């Protein structure tokens, strides 16, 4: 069965499960759907999360970080930091809360009821990672009162600090669940085929990520991140990669965007300059009729713009960059970790052994700036949100804000530090949005989030 064939059906089922009938205590209709097979629920969660990673928040982060360049339509506004309340509305509503978070909640609840620790563990991994990544973009967001239906129609916002703490706790709980589980062959797991030990490694990699998100607030997180990285992946072969299809109904969202909105999103010349002498450059972009393009229909050399380009939830490349940075922060020798991170990126992009060796050999010492700038180049195509987070944490690479920056949502004219709260919330949950904004000292694009202060 094709990956996306039953996603729509499962989404409808999840919607049905979220409803509560007023007569259910009086009469139960045996024909009414009361649960969905866990083997069908899990692929929907995996697919939605992978699509979120190539959805508008990621594309805009690529523009903010001057890797992508808006060429036409809305993308031109994004070049100017014109990112209003409508910019992330679809992601917030359909990608996040009524999307992967709701699906993961249903999966975890049903798996717990069925005493199935494999599915509950994987569900917790997805809920935690999607929640924490959203907090990295918006700061305070709903959590404890979210997804409660009529009980909390207007959920309050939890602090970014508490979101990260909750995500890390959930990842620890996921590791406990999966450590108590055996493998689940034929269980609908598109990424690992039901391997519990592989998901434990992925959870540890994600722990390392979110520990480093908050390392400016707690320097001790660096040592914890090293330990988590050591318990994670040992090679690219273990990446938690979602395998998109060549079919137009199930293809990589960045490739789909290139096909559906051609010539609206290209490559920033600043990124090209940073890639001078880098053997990955030809894998990232091509010049077509004088325009730098990330997508070129039929050009199979562009690694991250194919219909079936994978999307890793967490990768060995990222884990090793995290480890290198954490080692550098704690005074340990990070050279080997940096070399492994860059080499893994070369391998992912199909760079020849000679070219990869020459590049890695010339890296020099693994200081923070070198590590983050190398991650900037290595994460292209699949990890734009973490590139943006790295910048907001460290200030690397040094970027000059857009000369055309609009002051509408960014009075200071800086490289954006966050996204605005979305219009569906400002229109229907305005009191809680206002409270969250006040708690953070503002919620415009130039307001630095708690974790990065």
Domain boundaries defined on the chain: 7-20+34-247+309-452
* The model's pTM: 0.94
Residue 241 phi/psi, 5-degree rounding, is -95, 130
CA distances from 444 to 84, 275, 407, 448 (A): 9, 32, 10, 9
Average pLDDT of the segment spanning 8-12:
48
Distance CA 451, CA 448 (A): 8
Report the pLDDT value the prediction gives residue 35, as an integer from 0 to 100: 74
The pLDDT assigned to 24 comes to: 34
Q: How far is CA 394 from CA 214, 384, 389, 415, 416, in A?
A: 12, 15, 9, 13, 14
Q: 410: part of which helix (H) or strand (E)?
A: none
Closest residue by Cα to residue 212 from 393, 382, 337: 393
Q: How far is CA 364 from CA 29, 201, 361, in A?
A: 69, 29, 8
Three-state SS at 5: coil
pLDDT at 185: 87
How many percent of the chain have pLDDT more than 90? 91
Encode pLDDT of 397-437 as tens digits. 999 999 999 999 999 999 999 999 999 999 999 999 999 99
Question: What average pLDDT score do residues 94-119 get?
Answer: 98
Helix pair angle (316-330, 335-348), 10° resolution: 160
In the predicted model, is pLDDT for residue 29 greater than 80?
A: no
**For residue 262, what is the DSSP state?**
T
CATH number of 7-20+34-247+309-452: 1.25.40.390
Nearest in space to 211 (alpha carbons), one of 200, 198, 196, 227? 227
What pLDDT sits at residue 33?
41
CA distance 71 to 82: 14
Which has more pLDDT, 270 or 28? 270
The DSSP symbol for 151 reads: G
């Amino acid at each position: 069965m094709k990956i996306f064939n039953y996603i729509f059906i499962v989404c409808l089922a999840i919607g049905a499960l979220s409803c509560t009938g007023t007569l259910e205590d009086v009469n139960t209709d045996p024909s009414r759907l009361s649960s969905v097979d866990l083997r069908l629920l899990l692929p929907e969660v995996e697919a939605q999360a992978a699509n979120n990673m190539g959805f508008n928040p990621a594309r805009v982060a690529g523009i903010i970080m001057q890797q992508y360049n808006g060429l036409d339509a809305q993308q031109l506004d994004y070049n100017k930091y014109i990112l209003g309340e409508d910019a992330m509305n679809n992601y917030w509503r359909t990608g996040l809360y009524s999307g992967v978070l709701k699906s993961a909640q249903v999966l975890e609840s049903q798996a717990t009821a069925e005493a199935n620790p494999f599915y509950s563990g994987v569900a917790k991994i997805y809920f935690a990672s999607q929640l924490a990544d959203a907090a990295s973009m918006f700061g305070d967001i709903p959590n404890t009162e979210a997804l409660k239906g009529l009980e909390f129609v207007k959920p309050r916002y939890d602090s970014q600090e508490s979101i990260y703490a909750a995500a890390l706790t959930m990842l620890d709980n996921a590791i406990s669940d999966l450590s108590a589980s055996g493998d689940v062959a034929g269980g609908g797991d598109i990424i690992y085929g039901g391997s519990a030990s592989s998901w434990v490694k992925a959870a540890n990699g994600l722990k390392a990520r979110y520990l480093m998100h908050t390392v400016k607030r707690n320097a001790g997180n660096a040592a914890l991140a090293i330990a988590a990285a050591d318990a994670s992946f040992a090679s690219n072969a273990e990446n938690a990669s979602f395998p998109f299809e060549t079919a137009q109904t199930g293809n990589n969202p960045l490739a789909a965007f290139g096909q559906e909105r051609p010539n609206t999103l290209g490559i920033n010349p600043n990124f090209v300059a940073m890639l001078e002498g880098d053997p990955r450059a030809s894998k990232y972009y091509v010049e077509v009729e004088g325009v730098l393009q990330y997508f070129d229909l039929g050009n199979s050399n562009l690694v991250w713009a194919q219909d079936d380009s994978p999307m890793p939830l967490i990768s060995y490349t990222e884990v090793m960059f995290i480890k290198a940075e954490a080692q550098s922060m704690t005074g340990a020798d990070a050279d080997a970790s940096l070399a492994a991170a860059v080499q893994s990126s070369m391998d992912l992009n199909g760079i020849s052994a000679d070219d990869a060796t020459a590049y890695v050999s010339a890296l020099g010492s693994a200081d923070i700036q070198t590590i983050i700038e190398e991650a900037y180049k290595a994460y292209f195509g699949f990890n734009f949100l973490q590139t943006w987070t790295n910048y907001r944490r460290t200030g690397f690479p040094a970027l000059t804000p857009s000369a055309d920056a609009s002051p509408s949502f960014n009075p200071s004219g800086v490289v954006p530090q966050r996204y605005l709260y979305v219009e569906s919330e400002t229109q229907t949950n305005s009191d809680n949005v206002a409270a969250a904004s006040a708690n953070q000292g503002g919620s415009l694009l130039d307001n630095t989030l708690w974790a990065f202060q």
